[in-house]
Structure 1
């Protein structure tokens, strides 16, 4: 038989064309179904969406509850620095007459930032891990790790060990906080995306309520159980959640990204009522969206900073980071803030508990506002109002330690903490869940949360590195930097007028 290279090339070309035509035909087949599914979602009311997808609402509720654990521990450390027994055990005597103790400032800052450092690592790991094994198993892995790491925190007997324990606990927090908004936004229809993702802020408030109640009860206790029992309470959450999430369906969007269409259809059926939804059409809609993002490459962090995905990444990072600049830090440290404003310890703990309860109510109100006014309006107006209030708070804090100034600080702190959960906080969760590309969603939410932690760290960092340069000449400033004088010692350091080093 004669070998004809031209004939072979022609045959290969024809085969390739046939494959392309087959693919186009396949796309045409499911595009009509995809359009139908999208129209159905658009035409649903909120109540119809809840009736059509009851289990989606339930599983969004379950996954959102993982946020309780990060919230609980963040507020726990904030309350520990104000807890009398904890301060006496690990602090230094600052007033012999009143026997008042306080943690050294560097340890206050270190303990506050330790969990955030761990979470920063955790969110960096969450994207690749979730892209590989899915939301369900990534979350279960985080819960198993958390169960183990709580042991190290409970049995810690020194501040350095507590620092490490908190850092370790932060690893699974990073997984939860990166995955929860993405998963919730993927398993519910359009009309439920806002309330499903805003539940995250509600559970953040739930965590603060629980820790507020526990620490309020144990605030008067002068023994180690004043902080040991609140630490042990953390074990209530991981195991029951692990069991529940084991039976949770995987995100159909994640399954569709992996080409597992039959499993994605079964997942849709488990999330909704078979009588009212068409799983095949729903998967077709997902395939259509994913086709728009098709790439032969595996999702990578580098893609987040290219093309249109760069804009999406910047939005998610900006929204996450801005949480710390519009009231989040005050909300997280409410009890300590109230104490610093001159309020008694018992009253500070009570105010912290009241603040958390109000936050939960205001998150529920935000569901209504977001439904009527959208994400952008609520976020921008909420941030603007809180910015004005924070400026007023700063003015009050610079007016000395009079009763009026202390009362103004405490009142403004409470208002800022509560309004934060009406506008910027819940709206930001919706934006974070919706903005990222489906293909890159686990990576985008991970790096977005990383920006949150990166911004939060500098809010503490100035104590260690920002010196007081008032009244210093440039010569003195140069010399003091060269001598590596710690920031907190600049005010007391004398530089001789003859020194030129």
Structure 2
């Protein structure tokens, strides 16, 4: 409660609006993922198989439907990073939501495979812009003592959006007409309309304004974000402290500065963390989870997807409560261990006879445990690291590289999965739950990476993290900062 007293109504309102925008990320993403398992969707965009007398989605369509988005999302990351850096966080949020209204309309009106693929690919430019601006804005607004929880709020909002839309798709999946998938897609339009209406009532990030030497505007913005009970002297002191810390970062930076002595370690950690976030098979679980469970023919696929999102939210609530108490590293280690154990167990169960119902149910249980473990840290806290570790002038460039690596890895997972699950198609294999061996091995490597490289930044201000990395480089100990927590006290 003491921490909440430092929150002004404007800070609460701004945080809510940013979380609402993130909510639409999860809503959009899971709408696309869930609707592809609907019978009406398969009839509209699939083909009729005369041998089985059923409609099927072509594996190439499924691969492109779930992987093309990675390429356009990279474009959105670069576009969002540029607009956010040059014109401010608010203008970036405004422009991406204007764009979302058009891209979502293309999806809703789709009647052909080409139109749907283009619509989803275009829509993910909007979601890429979200990745570029929302985590950074949350980190810049958050008081240092609760920045971890604020960072987790980004992914929690995404998962709440996913939970809501999976509940909707479970309800509409029984509709025989195209309304079954058009209704969830149509609801994507609601949040952009709300955000567009309210975003100009929020203040710009004071740190962004200071980095552009707009002192008076930064002070006015900080004043709006502080509670009314705060004295003008306290606000001025906070502003002076922030301005002093930002002053050292005012100079222009170039791409090669990402790899200087002061920055190369944090660049490596952020980029590698984004790789491992996806390498353990998250995209398989989130994008194909409904189809995967449907193929097992053991339990209701939409119910499991709904349960998976509920489990994710439970894990994120735990992460929110603990990230600023036990620290980032402990949660990363626990998360990677659960991922590894669940995926390797899934791989073992996948070796059982295909008619073994208990083994299939065990695979579903391991899918839920994996999702819980991933959402405990590797889902949300990678975004926290991305907002915390880079120095402010290099943050956009660092995240552009990191998110490119993340999305290329996601593309590899999503494009390859259909070819590992379609045994009745020539040159394809059907390894089922044995996928766990592949992703589980990579999850184990992420455990080792986290142990040796992920730093502890609990309760440290952004500028203090920058100073600690600089001082550790001066001492020729680039990873020393990973284990220092005294600076927050």
Instruction: Report if TM-score (shorter chain) is over 0.5.
Output: yes
How many residue pairs get matched?
Answer: 420
- Asked if the contact 1:50–1:192 (Cα under 8 Å) also holds between the matched residues in 2, the reply is no
Specify whether residues 360 and 390 from structure 1 end up closer, same or farther in structure 2 by C-alpha distance, changes over 3 A only.
same
Please, which of 91, 114, 121 is the counterpart of residue 46 of structure 2? Answer: 91
CA distance in 2, matches of 1:180, 1:357: 23
1:346-403 CA distance string (max 9 Å, x none):
x110121122122212211112221221001111221122112111112222323121
Tell me the residue number matched to 1:201: 155
Please, which of 96, 100, 111 is the counterpart of residue 54 of structure 2? Answer: 100
Residue 333 of structure 2 is aligned to residue 380 of structure 1: yes
- Asked if the contact 2:328–2:381 (Cα under 8 Å) also holds between the matched residues in 1, the reply is yes
1:327-352 CA distance string (max 9 Å, x none):
522144332221133235xx110121
Deviation at 1:162, TM superposition (A): 1.0
Deviation at 1:301, TM superposition (A): 4.0
CA distance in 1, matches of 2:161, 2:248: 39
Residue 61 of structure 2 is aligned to residue 61 of structure 1: no
Tell me the residue number matched to 2:236: 280
SS of corresponding position for 1:459 = helix
CA distance in 2, matches of 1:288, 1:95: 72
Please, which of 181, 191, 197 is the counterpart of residue 237 of structure 1? Answer: 191
- Asked if the contact 1:335–1:351 (Cα under 8 Å) also holds between the matched residues in 2, the reply is yes
Residue 258 of structure 2 is aligned to residue 313 of structure 1: no
Tell me the residue number matched to 1:75: 30
SS of corresponding position for 2:236 = helix
The runs of 4+ residues in structure 1 deviating greater than 3 Å are 93-97, 299-303, 460-466, 487-491
Deviation at 1:75, TM superposition (A): 1.5
CA distance in 2, matches of 1:439, 1:130: 12
**TM-score normalised according to structure 2 size:** 0.81
Tell me the residue number matched to 1:12: none
- Asked if the contact 2:59–2:418 (Cα under 8 Å) also holds between the matched residues in 1, the reply is no
Tell me the residue number matched to 1:17: none
RMSD of the alignment, in Å?
2.2
Deviation at 1:123, TM superposition (A): 0.4
Deviation at 1:64, TM superposition (A): 2.5
Which is further off, 426-435 or 137-146? 426-435
Could you tell me which runs of 5 or more consecutive residues in structure 1 were left unpaired when the two chains were aligned: 1-46, 467-486, 492-501
Please, which of 188, 193, 202 is the counterpart of residue 142 of structure 2? Answer: 188
Deviation at 1:444, TM superposition (A): 2.4
CA distance in 2, matches of 1:433, 1:260: 22
SS of corresponding position for 1:371 = coil
Please, which of 332, 340, 343 is the counterpart of residue 295 of structure 2? Answer: 340
Deviation at 1:456, TM superposition (A): 0.5
CA distance in 2, matches of 1:386, 1:72: 24
Deviation at 1:103, TM superposition (A): 0.6
Deviation at 1:88, TM superposition (A): 1.8
Tell me the residue number matched to 1:417: 371
Please, which of 397, 407, 411 is the counterpart of residue 350 of structure 2? Answer: 397
Tell me the residue number matched to 1:215: 169
Could you tell me which runs of 5 or more consecutive residues in structure 2 were left unpaired when the two chains were aligned: 430-489
1:100-153 CA distance string (max 9 Å, x none):
322111111111113222111110222222111011101110000011111111
Deviation at 1:262, TM superposition (A): 1.1
1:419-441 CA distance string (max 9 Å, x none):
22123223323222211211222
CA distance in 1, matches of 2:11, 2:30: 29
Tell me the residue number matched to 1:479: none
1:69-122 CA distance string (max 9 Å, x none):
22222222221221111112221234755x432211111111111322211111
**Which structure has the larger Rg?**
1
Tell me the residue number matched to 2:402: 448
Please, which of 391, 394, 405 is the counterpart of residue 437 of structure 1? Answer: 391
Deviation at 1:325, TM superposition (A): 2.8
CA distance in 2, matches of 1:397, 1:92: 29
Specify whether residues 396 and 93 from structure 1 end up closer, same or farther in structure 2 by C-alpha distance, changes over 3 A only.
farther
SS of corresponding position for 2:37 = coil
CA distance in 1, matches of 2:237, 2:66: 48
Deviation at 1:306, TM superposition (A): 3.5
Please, which of 261, 268, 272 is the counterpart of residue 222 of structure 2? Answer: 268
1:306-328 CA distance string (max 9 Å, x none):
33222222222222222213452
Specify whether residues 422 and 463 from structure 1 end up closer, same or farther in structure 2 by C-alpha distance, changes over 3 A only.
closer
- Asked if the contact 1:126–1:442 (Cα under 8 Å) also holds between the matched residues in 2, the reply is no
- Asked if the contact 1:74–1:112 (Cα under 8 Å) also holds between the matched residues in 2, the reply is no
SS of corresponding position for 1:372 = coil
Tell me the residue number matched to 1:289: 245
Tell me the residue number matched to 2:303: 350
SS of corresponding position for 1:333 = helix
SS of corresponding position for 1:307 = coil
